[in-house]
């Protein structure tokens, strides 16, 4: 695992370049964030936003989603992969929010993970982004950056998440998830990491640094 001071400097550089990183998913309240994250599984944020932009303009609560119904929701999100399964899950989770949580998105991991289509990663995003809790959602970009840089190496998503929670200084926890994702998406890319222009190159433990 990366030493504390090195990880602190790593985040400080990312923070200086982008002080308040934001989710690239479009949402207007905790509920639409939850729905957008559920829809984003195996899909791009841009693709999800294209469908949810018009949808969330008129449907932004569990009650409105249930009123819309599964067939119309599926039609509205048909450009997103696995849309039929996702439409079923979104309607089911919206019903559960109404039945068990008074139409509100719960602020605990257990309650979130009990919702259809919501796994650990989705719960981590919602807890962090909507409620400011110190969680780190590990997606493919975050997993790669944690392993390549040596910040928190691990073979499984859970191992990396637990490593990142230990390696990340408290002052960076709020935005750690977004900094790592954005760094992986735009700089430390899967096929060709841009090590030559990377602002944390001297702090990174990747042995086979690429030139550009």
Which residues form the interface with ligand SF4 (CB under 6 A)? 148-149, 187-188, 193-195, 198, 200-201, 204, 206, 209
CA 206 to CA 209: how far, in whole Å?
6
CA atoms 8, 10, 13, 16: torsion sign: negative
Q: Which residues are catalytic?
A: 121, 139
Q: Which residues of 63-91 are buried (b: 16+ CB within 10 A; e: fewer)?
A: eebbebebeebbebbeebeebeebbebbb
CA 23 to CA 68: how far, in whole Å?
26
Is the Cβ of residue 93 or residue 187 nearer to ligand SF4 in the bound state? 187
Is the Cβ of residue 36 or residue 187 nearer to ligand SF4 in the bound state? 187
Positions of E strands within 87-173: none
In the complex, the smallest distance separating the C-beta of residue 136 from ligand SF4, rounded to whole angstroms, is: 17
In the complex, the smallest distance separating the C-beta of residue 7 from ligand SF4, rounded to whole angstroms, is: 12
How buried is residue 170: exposed, middle or buried, by Cβ count under 10 Å (0-12/13-18/19+)?
exposed
Is the Cβ of residue 86 or residue 178 nearer to ligand SF4 in the bound state? 178
CA 51 to CA 170: how far, in whole Å?
36
Is the Cβ of residue 120 or residue 189 nearer to ligand SF4 in the bound state? 189
Main-chain phi, psi angles of 94, to 5 degrees = -65, -40
In the complex, the smallest distance separating the C-beta of residue 189 from ligand SF4, rounded to whole angstroms, is: 8
Is the Cβ of residue 86 or residue 185 nearer to ligand SF4 in the bound state? 185
In the complex, the smallest distance separating the C-beta of residue 10 from ligand SF4, rounded to whole angstroms, is: 8
Say how far residue 171 (Cα) sits from the centre of its chain.
Answer: 19
Residue with tokens 């760094």, as numbered in its chain: 183
In the complex, the smallest distance separating the C-beta of residue 5 from ligand SF4, rounded to whole angstroms, is: 17
């Amino acid at each position: 695992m990366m030493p504390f001071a090195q990880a602190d400097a790593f985040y400080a550089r990312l923070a200086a370049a982008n002080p308040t990183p934001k989710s690239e998913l479009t949402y207007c309240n905790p509920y639409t964030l939850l729905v957008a994250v559920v829809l984003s599984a195996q899909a791009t944020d841009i693709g999800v936003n294209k469908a949810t932009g018009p949808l969330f303009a008129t449907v932004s609560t569990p009650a409105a989603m249930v009123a819309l119904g599964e067939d119309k929701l599926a039609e509205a999100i048909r450009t997103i992969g696995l849309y039929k399964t996702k439409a079923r899950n979104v309607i089911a989770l919206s019903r559960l929010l109404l039945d068990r949580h008074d139409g509100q998105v719960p602020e605990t991991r257990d309650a979130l993970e009990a919702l259809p289509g919501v796994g650990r990663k989705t719960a981590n995003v919602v807890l962090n982004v909507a409620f400011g809790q110190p969680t780190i959602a590990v997606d493919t970009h975050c997993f790669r950056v944690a392993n390549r840089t040596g910040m928190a190496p691990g073979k499984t998503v859970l191992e990396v998440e637990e490593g990142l929670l230990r390696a990340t200084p408290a002052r960076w926890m709020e935005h750690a998830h977004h900094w790592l994702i954005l760094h992986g998406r735009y700089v430390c890319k899967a096929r060709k990491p841009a090590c030559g222009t990377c602002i944390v190159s001297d702090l990174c433990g990747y042995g086979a640094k690429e030139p550009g």
